[in-house]
Amino acid sequence: MAENLRRKGDAPDNLGTTLGFAISRVVGGLVFSLGLILVVVAGAELFTGNNLLVMAWTSRKITTTELLKNWLVIFIANAIGAIGLALLVALSHHSSMNDGAVGIQMVKIAAIKTSTPFWEAFFKGILCNVLVCLAVWMVLAGHTVTDKILAIIFPVSAFVAAGFEHCVANMYFIPLGLLAQYQVVVPTSVNISNLTWVGFMYSLIPVTLGNVIGGSGFIALNI
């Protein structure tokens, strides 16, 4: 019954906006920047940013065990936080906004991410964390909150606008789409065959590997 409900008919396939593709991507990137701004300003921990710890590892200030332990703990904590937030948003029925168009967009984003081929997701993950770690590195040069915000906005907006993949962001977007698909009428044009919890895990693997290589290999080892 749930399957029939969420696949019934074709609901509006837009967000009721006249923004073009390029403008909407850039605006989305600017809004998305809030995530890293909160992490940096509030002193939180982010797995992808902590890939820069490889600098301390190569300088022998931390051991391999300490490095891997940090990554594991932060990765798990980020996952719990992201999935928990997705659940709260779903319970708030945020997906019903604009006659369900917001929920449909949630499902579309998650469906695209879980349908992305392994190597495409991997290389998008590399490119993403190159920009994220550059943003975190530039933040260290800032002396005020304003400096730090400006250092973050442009690299993060660039990776979002370009469609690169961030494992922690996907820990939120994919579960959100998984939950939203039961709250809205999903258009038949949206392929949700891979939008499952198993699909979520398969999507997370290449993106995470790409993020680690992009942040640790391309940035941390070259700074």
Calculate helix-pair angle for 118-139, 145-162, nearest 10 degrees.
Answer: 170
CA angle, residues 90, 164, 15, in degrees to nearest 5:
45
Max CA pair span of the chain: 60
Q: Which residue has the tokens 């809205």?
A: 184
Residue-level pLDDT at 18: 60
Q: Which residue has the tokens 């984003």?
A: 109
Q: Is the dihedral of CA 174, 154, 36, 168 positive or negative?
A: positive
Per CATH, the number for 50-222 is 1.20.1080.10
CA pair distance 42, 218, nearest whole angstrom: 26
Residue-level pLDDT at 46: 97
Residue 100 backbone zone (phi > 0: left; psi -120 to 50: alpha; other: beta): left
Residue-level pLDDT at 185: 93
Q: Which residue has the tokens 């695209």?
A: 112
Could you tell me where the beta strands, DSSP code E, fall in 59-200?
none
Domain ranges of the chain: 50-222
Nearest by Cα to 115 from 7, 200, 216, 3: 200
Within 8 A by CB and 6+ apart from 76, the residues are none
Q: Is the dihedral of CA 194, 129, 151, 89 positive or negative?
A: positive
Q: Tens-of-pLDDT digits for all 223 residues of the chain?
A: 344 444 444 444 444 456 677 788 888 889 999 999 999 999 999 999 999 999 999 999 999 999 999 999 999 999 999 999 999 999 999 999 999 999 999 999 999 999 999 999 999 999 999 999 999 999 999 999 999 999 999 999 999 999 999 999 999 999 999 999 999 999 999 999 999 999 999 999 999 999 999 999 999 998 7
Token pair listed for 142: 């800032």
Residue-level pLDDT at 66: 98
pTM: 0.88
Q: Is the dihedral of CA 136, 141, 144, 147 positive or negative?
A: negative
